[in-house]
């Protein structure tokens, strides 16, 4: 079986050659990564929405003194509050995409269902 070789000449930079099979493998790798990250995005948005809902049940909101552990020391109450009050709702609005009949959600769910 003959392999198709593709040669690209870049002005002033010489030529690059590679097998067409390499391109297919590269595309497939990128597609698999896109599926992985789309699933992670869906999970992250759901997780952050759950945290936002749980926060509403707290007797007292986040305090700067909460962030004494090493792994969260770089954060503060205002940062997390802004994340939950403004950033996540903005992502959710874009994700749900009601103006486009929820097409973004449809695409993510189609990708996700292929990953089960």
Whether 12 shows a pLDDT value over 70: the answer reads: no
Mean pLDDT across the chain, nearest whole number?
86
Q: What is the mean pLDDT of residues 75-79?
A: 97
In this prediction, residue 24 has a pLDDT band, given cuts at 50, 70 and 90, of confident
The C-alpha atoms of residue 49 and residue 52 are separated, in whole angstroms, by: 5
Q: Are strands 5-10 and 14-19 parallel, antiparallel or unpaired?
A: antiparallel
Per-residue pLDDT tens digits for 48-69: 999 999 999 999 999 999 999 9
Q: What is the pTM of this model?
A: 0.71
The C-alpha atoms of residue 58 and residue 25 are separated, in whole angstroms, by: 49
The C-alpha atoms of residue 107 and residue 100 are separated, in whole angstroms, by: 12
3-class SS shares of the chain: helix, strand, coil, % to 5: 65, 10, 25
């Amino acid at each position: 079986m003959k392999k198709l070789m593709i040669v690209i000449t870049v002005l002033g930079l010489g030529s690059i050659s590679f097998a067409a099979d390499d391109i297919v493998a590269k595309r497939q790798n990128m597609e698999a990564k896109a599926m992985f990250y789309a699933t992670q995005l869906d999970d992250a948005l759901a997780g952050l929405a759950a945290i936002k809902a749980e926060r509403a049940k707290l007797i007292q909101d986040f305090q700067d003194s909460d962030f004494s552990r090493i792994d969260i020391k770089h954060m503060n109450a205002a940062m997390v509050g802004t994340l939950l009050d403004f950033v996540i709702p903005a992502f959710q609005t874009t994700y749900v995409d009601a103006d486009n009949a929820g097409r973004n959600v449809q695409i993510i769910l189609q990708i996700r269902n292929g990953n089960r």
